[in-house]
Amino acid sequence: MTLKQQKKARKESWTLDNVREGLDRFYKEHNRYPTAHEFDNFIYLPSSRTIQRKFGGLVQLREELNLKGPKDFTKGDYSSQRAYMINKRAHETEKEVYEYLVNRFGVQFVHREFFFLDDKRTRTDFFIYYNDSAFSIDVFYPKDRPNLIGCLNNKLRKYSDETMMQYPVFFLQMNIDIDQRILDDIVKNKKNMLQKNQYLVTFKTLKRFCEDKEPLSLKK
């Protein structure tokens, strides 16, 4: 049996039967059925947009094919568990970064949840003072390259205020499967360019930057 592939299929040629075949293939590889984002990135399935147009959306498709597991990934236990895992990972990654920064620059000079203004919006995850100046860090954990690009675009909109651009800003992605070469390629090919003093980095790259900066010391 030859499975239909996204690039070879015409927009109107997907049927329930060949979608089911693609879903069976995904299930064999991952032991679960795909989310909307995974539909778009799995070659043997149509895009989520095609699913919406031809079958009324992913929820309706899952119900019609009577797939195992949740029919709507945005509700119920699956959504709650996913939110819990995301929050847990965010806490762990920020804790890892904070401990490194404190060890390098001293607890007095590492500020968490730093607000540039009193509007409760213009804030950064970390603001660090060192001997010559200061810099800020915004930490995130993208699951893959498309997710990273989406997160970065949101952060660029957030950091468009001049108040937040007085010092260098490091957008620190913590997924170890995405290395600095990938980040540099993303930055190089972005239509919306990073501004001066904005950097997209891995933790390893950030550490090299920090190691080159002299910490402040408290005067006795």
Q: At what angle do helices 180-189 and 145-158 cross, to 10 degrees?
A: 60
* Phi, psi (degrees; rounded to nearest 5) at 212: -90, -5
Residues of the chain with pLDDT under 50: 9-11, 71-73, 78-79, 83
Instruction: Give pLDDT, residue 101.
Output: 96
Instruction: Give pLDDT, residue 12.
Output: 53
Long-range contacts of 62-66 (CB under 8 A, 24+ apart): 62/33, 64/16, 65/16, 65/19, 65/20, 65/23
Structure tokens at 65: 């094919």
Instruction: Give pLDDT, residue 51.
Output: 86
Distance CA 97, CA 94 (A): 5
Instruction: Give pLDDT, residue 90.
Output: 64
Contact between 46 and 29 under an 8 Å Cβ cutoff? The reply is: no
Give residue limits of the domains in the chain.
Answer: 16-65, 82-211
The number of residues making up the chain comes to 220
Distance CA 24, CA 30 (A): 10
Residue 135's Cβ-side half-sphere holds a number of Cα atoms within 13 Å equal to 21
* Assessment of whether the complete model's pTM goes beyond 0.75: no
